[in-house]
Copies of this chain bind each other. A is one copy, B any other.
Amino acid sequence: MALTKRQREILTYLQDYAGDRGYAPSFEEIAAHFNYNSLATVHEHLTNLERKGYIRRSYNESRAIEILPSDVFSRAIDLPLLGTVAAGMPIESLSYNETVAVPQELVSRSGEHYVLKVRGNSMIDEQIRDGDFVIVNERRSADNGEMVIALLNNRGATCKKFYRERDGRIRLQPANETLSPMYVHENDIAIQGVVVGVIRRY
């Protein structure tokens, strides 16, 4: 549903206000900002925005305007940075609660997501370098060729490409020439998640 000029202005105002303050403006504040003399005008605009799917409101509640992601405004989600990951090394969880902002399109799949920071060049052949952030979709299974975070029996977690071969045998292919593939039985591996994106800051 397309927006009119006025509706877009109001949506932008809502976005800015909520971004700054952490809560939505009241009708009165919206009216003041747009020089309206009646709250009914505000109400009508918000009703239209909701009808067109850009915001969501709850009935009769104060400042209860939620801006939904749309073409106009994409958003980022702060995902927890759970730790670092290197070849064959366990995931080293961080003590402090850090987060990484990730564009919402990268986390549009079902299930939980989190971020791991890559240490070392163990995934260099997959164009993932030291210091990159990988976005992981939490899952218990994977398809061939996907990059997985896998937990091996008492040998910690690792990040490898996943290939299912015959008779329940699984090949874990490191993304680095100098490392050889690892073969395990499907019973000896627990998939933690699948890498769905990479972010690098220079």
A24 and B2 alpha carbons, distance in the complex (Å): 7
Closest 9 CB pairs of A and B: A74-B101, A101-B103, A76-B76, A198-B200, A127-B127, A72-B78, A127-B129, A76-B103, A2-B64
Known: A77-B72, A103-B101. A63 touches B196 (CB 8 A): no
Find A76's partner among B5, B8, B73 (CB 8 Å cutoff): B73
Which of B8, B80, B129, B197 lies in contact with A21, CB distance below 8 A? B8
A198: chain B residues within 8 A (beta carbon)? 198-200
In the assembled complex, the Cα of A49 lies from the Cα of B1 at a distance in Å of 17
CB-based contact B202/A2 at 8 Å? no
- Decide if A62 is an interface residue (CB 8 Å cutoff): yes
Question: If A103-B101, A127-B128 touch, does A76 touch B74 (CB 8 Å cutoff)?
Answer: yes
Return the chain B residue nearest A56 by Cβ: B2
Instruction: Count residues on chain A whose CB falls below 8 Å from chain B CBs.
Output: 54
Given A2-B65, A23-B2, A63-B4, A104:B76 Cβ within 8 A = yes
Known: A3-B23, A7-B23, A76-B103. 4 other contacts (CB 8 A): A2-B23, A2-B65, A73-B76, A105-B201
Task: Write out, one digit per residue, whether chain A residues 59-86 have a CB within 8 A of any chain B CB (1) or not (0).
Answer: 0011111100101111111101000000
Query: Is A111 located at the chain interface by the 8 A CB criterion?
Result: no
Determine if B78 and A75 form an interchain contact, defined as CB atoms under 8 angstroms apart.
no
Q: Quick check: is A19 within 8 A (CB to CB) of the other chain?
A: yes
A99 contacts chain B at the CB level, 8 A cutoff: yes
Name the residue in A71, A99, A105, A202 with the highest tally of chain B Cβ atoms < 10 Å from its Cβ: A202
A195's contact among B3, B80, B202, by CB below 8 Å, is which? B202
Q: With A and B bound together, what is the CA distance between A76 and B127 in angstroms? A: 24
Q: Is A4 a contact partner of B23 (Cβ separation < 8 A)? A: yes
